Each structure stands twice: as C-alpha cells, then as structure tokens.
Amino acid sequence: SRRISRPRTRQLNPFPSYSDPLNLRVGNPFLLPEYTNSLELSYAHQTKKTTLTSSLYYKDINDVISRVKTVDTLGVSTLTYSNLSSMESYGLEVILVSKLSKAWSMNLSGNAFQTRQEVGDRELGSDLNTSAIGWSAKAMSTWKLDHDLQIQVSARYRAPRLLLQGDISAMWWADLAAKKGIFDNKGSIGIRVTDVFNTREFTFYSFGTGFEQESLRKRESQNVFLTFSYNFGKLEERSRRGGSRDVDGGGMDEIGID
C-alpha cells in the first residue's frame, strides 16, 4: 500500500509561538508531505475462545518531517520542522484476543520494530543517521458483571525512543471505564477515568551544536468523563481497516512531541 501524510497546521504555521519566551516554536510553510510505502504479511489463528493475529511489516518513508532545534547566543531555543530524512522500519505486531470466561475477556498486543533513518542534513551541519529498536505493549480487560453492566481496565507502555536530536524516556499509563445499560439497554450511562495513576509523562533529552537540553513533558491527562447515549433506531456498524503503529516519521501526537 501507499499512504500520504500531510503536515499539520502547527508544523506549517510560519508565525512563532511565544508561549514560552525561552523555547520558541515556528512552522515551515514549505514542508512536503510524507510518502509511505508499506508491505505487510499477516497470519491469524482462531479457536473457540481465542484469536491470535501476528503481522510482519515493512515501511519505507520518504521526506520524513523531522523536528529541528537550534539555540542562539542568548540561550533561546527555536524549534522548527524540515523534510530532512528518509526512514525504513520493519517489525512484528502480535494481538491476542481471548474470552477467558462468560463474563471476562482480555485483549493483549505488542509491537516491536527497528527503524533506520538517513539524513542528508545541511541545517544541522552533520549527517545524523540513526538506527534504533523500539517496542510498545497494550493490555485491556473487560468484565461483564451483569447483562447491562461492564467494567474495563486498560494499560499501555511505550519503551524509550531515539530521535534525530535526542531521545525520550519510557512512559506508561492506565485507564478505567464503566458502562451500564438503561431503558432496556436502549441507552447507557458511563464513566471513564483516564491516566488513573497520573503517570503519563516523559523526559525529553535533546542536543545539537552548542547545546544540550532536558525537559519533563506532562499533559493534563488525568480526567473524568461522564457519558450518556440513547439509540433511537438501528445503527449500522462500519468497519475501519488498519491502524497507526508507533513507527511513522512525523506523527507523535500521542506523546506530545510534534
């Protein structure tokens, strides 16, 4: 398959952001989109209560949108973006879905990959070619305590990751949700708590010509959501193919690196 990933608005905006006067951010309106060529081979094994899916994949990404940070003589850093490199990545993803009992089901998944990034870099004054191994894991468990009451616990871990101008530390977090059917299951009320233990944070280390910087990134990730839904008619479910793995060049929204 072939996919195109266009730059986000923030990456294109040429006007500097002064929210932090010591760490400026400015977009590049001349950014090109990333082009990804993908090849995937999948195998699925299914029993009465368990489905195991494994996928080998390869990606070739051109015009990777990369973060470029520089620091001036006054100690003010400026972050911008450029199509500096090409990237190859290959890996293995395994997904296990199991119904352990009538009331308990579990979903486990893991993704391990290696990336190679080649940079013909003039802006930074050197060739920054990187090769790194990364992995991530997810777990989700669902209990049906009654015909109209469900509780779900999920957790996710992301291993440390190497970037062109630095690295980011490991990160993990857990979510909790509950849903109860009402009005003969025509409607439902629910509650969801994100980042239950308030651990969704990471340390970001960056370096370049004449500077080294270490910072802690923490979003307001611990939240409580209350939901209500009611079905007025019969809804058709549309299947969505595919998903995003943690090996793409520019997309790092989930961890706050963009």
Q: 177 by DSSP, 3-state: which?
A: strand
Contact 231, 187 (CB under 8 A): yes
The stretch 209-228 carries a mean pLDDT of 90
Q: Would you say residue 68 lies in a domain?
A: yes
pLDDT in tens, 85-127: 889 999 999 999 999 998 999 999 999 999 998 776 555 545 5
Q: Which pLDDT does position 254 carry in this prediction?
A: 44
Query: What percent of the chain clears pLDDT 70, i.e. is strictly above it?
Result: 86
What average pLDDT does the structure give for the chain? 87
Residues 6 or more apart in contact with residue 224 via CB below 8 angstroms: 191, 192, 193, 194
Is residue 188 predicted with pLDDT exceeding 60?
yes
Q: Which pLDDT does position 255 carry in this prediction?
A: 47
Is the backbone of residue 166 left (phi > 0), alpha (psi -120 to 50) or beta?
A: left
Q: Would you say residue 151 lies in a domain?
A: yes
User: What is the band of 209 on the pLDDT scale with cuts at 50, 70, 90?
Assistant: confident
Q: Would you say residue 252 lies in a domain?
A: no
Q: Which pLDDT does position 175 carry in this prediction?
A: 98
Q: 253 by DSSP, 3-state: which?
A: helix
Q: Would you say residue 222 lies in a domain?
A: yes
Q: Would you say residue 257 lies in a domain?
A: no
Count: domains in the chain: 1
Is residue 248 predicted with pLDDT exceeding 90?
no
pLDDT in tens, 25-56: 999 999 999 999 999 999 999 999 999 999 99
Q: Domain range holding 92?
A: 2-244
CA end-to-end span of the chain: 25
- Kindly give the pairing relationship between strand 166-168 and strand 161-163: antiparallel
Contact 137, 157 (CB under 8 A): yes
Q: Which pLDDT does position 211 carry in this prediction?
A: 86
Q: Would you say residue 206 lies in a domain?
A: yes
The stretch 190-211 carries a mean pLDDT of 92
CA distance linking residue 105 with residue 54, whole number of Å: 19
The stretch 183-189 carries a mean pLDDT of 86
Query: What percent of the chain clears pLDDT 90, i.e. is strictly above it?
Result: 59
The position carrying tokens 């990804």 is 36
Is residue 251 predicted with pLDDT exceeding 60?
no
Q: Would you say residue 39 lies in a domain?
A: yes
Q: Would you say residue 91 lies in a domain?
A: yes
